[in-house]
A and B are shown apart, each in its own frame.
Chain A
Amino acid sequence: AQSVTQLDSQVPVFEEAPVELRCNYSSSVSVYLFWYVQYPNQGLQLLLKYLSGSTLVKGINGFEAEFNKSQTSFHLRKPSVHISDTAEYFCAVSPMNTGFQKLVFGTGTRLLVSP
């Protein structure tokens, strides 16, 4: 079975400051990793994904994440946030042996960017 832990339920930050949203996972098999963003009353939008190759992954809107296999982490970072980045962010894993048929989500982190 898989589980995803997002320790921070809410992260307040000032505009133009850097931010890191933490994600740790547990799995008995290898996984693919994803970060999704959800704006109020909307569905989820893919920010970035790690399937293989370089452990540093760049996504949309200036976000990046680094896969650390030894620490089973996939933290999301942005060097300078905007007000428009205020949203809910979900980390998710997909076990490699399910053919991408299964996504297990963390509980989400609300990023609050203030001026």
Chain B
Amino acid sequence: GAVVSQHPSRVICKSGTSVKIECRSLDFQATTMFWYRQFPKKSLMLMATSNEGSKATYEQGVEKDKFLINHASLTLSTLTVTSAHPEDSSFYICSARVLAEPEQFFGPGTRLTVL
């Protein structure tokens, strides 16, 4: 199956700093990438959808100035958490899909801890 990687797998940062998370499709070109946030014992919450070369579409309630998404190529999307605060601590998961295919392929996730 298609492989999606995320880097880093785990990051700890101080409050007020920015953190960048990378999501790569390793063996296919992803027309669309998705960013999810998962709280402990909760479901995945879609944060935004990004198509290569265009601006991301954010879900209601997600601050676009805080969670910056860039989808510069068909194999790479980045999520930057700006001025992170402890309440931003969470498990962030990306997924990717190919146009007209139903399946989303998920990355292994990034655990963000803000002190």
- Residues of A in contact with B (beta carbons under 8 Å apart): 9, 32, 36, 41-46, 49, 51, 90, 94, 99-103, 105-108
Interface set, chain B 87-115, CB cutoff 8 A to A: 93, 95, 97, 100-109, 111
Bound-complex Cα distance A45 to B2 (A): 11
User: What's the nearest-Cβ distance from chain B to residue A33, in Å?
Assistant: 10
10 residue pairs of the A-B complex, CB under 8 angstroms, read: A41-B111, A44-B106, A45-B106, A94-B102, A100-B104, A101-B49, A102-B46, A102-B49, A107-B43, A108-B43
Would you call A106 and B109 a contact (CB within 8 A)?
no
Q: CB-CB < 8 A to B101: which residues of A?
A: 100
Q: CB-CB < 8 A to A99: which residues of B?
A: 100
Bound-complex Cα distance A107 to B101 (A): 25
Majority DSSP secondary structure for residues of A touching B = loop
> Assuming A105-B43, A105-B44, is B109 touching A42 (CB within 8 A)?
yes
Closest chain A residue to B57, Cβ basis: A101
> Assuming A44-B93, A101-B49, is B102 touching A51 (CB within 8 A)?
yes
Interface set, chain B 68-104, CB cutoff 8 A to A: 93, 95, 97, 100-104
